[in-house]
Amino acid sequence: MTIEKSQEELAIPGPRTASLERRTGETHVSVTVNLDGQGFYDVDTGNGFLDHMLSQLARHGLFDITLRAKGDTYVGWHHLVEDSAIMLGRAFRQALGDARGIRRMGHAIVPLDDVLALVAVDCSGRGYPVIETDLDGAIVETLSGDLVRHLLESFAIEGQMNLHTRILAGYSPHHKAEALFKALARALRDAVEPDPRGGQQVPSTKGTITG
């Protein structure tokens, strides 16, 4: 029995890239994302630890990410961290397009010395973060634990993905944050990669994950 596919199902997806820029009274952020990259990163936010975390996302997810951010850091890092996450999430969502042919869901458990981190993600078109970092009250190099959590929350909301994170074991704040971003990278990589059995179908019984 031969199953014929529609022209829509046979369509070859275009490049999954996005470039965005946003300037407000608080920050100026520009970002370029390629979901089918090789892990290239060029990140400059003025905050070394934030740069380090976003670089982990690129390298271990095999996403190419270029991000530049400047802002009113004399009042603290909140505005710059939040707006960097907002723009990165929006770029991921735009690059994903209508999400035809992707696996949609992914998860990863990542060790880093004393720490074990769990991340699960669903590129569902609905931003819903459930973020546990075990970093309450901690200072992680140049960021507060609260800002690490807020970074993940803002990324998930603007990326329109359901994101769950949890620390399963460990004590080092640096390792907790880094393991979470490495796990996010691997989970996202699985979620956005093409499903060879799915063709170009939208991975939803609704027929859409764009709203």
Q: Is the residue at 97 inside a domain?
A: yes
Q: Is the residue at 62 inside a domain?
A: yes
Q: Is the residue at 154 inside a domain?
A: yes
If DSSP states are collapsed to H, E and C, what string results for 108-121? EEEEECCEEEEEEE
Q: Is the residue at 208 inside a domain?
A: no
- Candidates 34, 59, 54; CA nearest to 152 is 54
Q: Is the residue at 24 inside a domain?
A: yes
Average pLDDT over residues 31-54: 98
Q: Is pLDDT larger for residue 176 or for residue 205? A: 176
Q: Is the residue at 201 inside a domain?
A: no
Q: Is the residue at 210 inside a domain?
A: no
Does residue 12 surpass a pLDDT of 50? Answer: no
Q: Please give the helix or strand (H or E) that residue 33 lies within, else none.
A: strand 27-34
Domain of 182 in residue numbering reads as 15-192
Residue 123: pLDDT band by 50, 70, 90 thresholds?
Answer: very high
What phi, psi does 180 have (nearest 5°)?
-65, -40
The CATH number covering residue 139 comes to 3.30.230.40
At residue 11, the pLDDT reads: 43
What phi, psi does 114 have (nearest 5°)?
-75, -15
Count up the domains in the chain and report the number: 1
Spatial separation of the C-alpha atoms in residues 175 and 142, rounded to whole Å: 14
pLDDT digits (tens, 9 = 90+) for 159-199: 999 999 999 999 999 999 999 999 999 999 999 999 888 77
Q: Is the residue at 10 inside a domain?
A: no
Spatial separation of the C-alpha atoms in residues 108 and 74, rounded to whole Å: 37
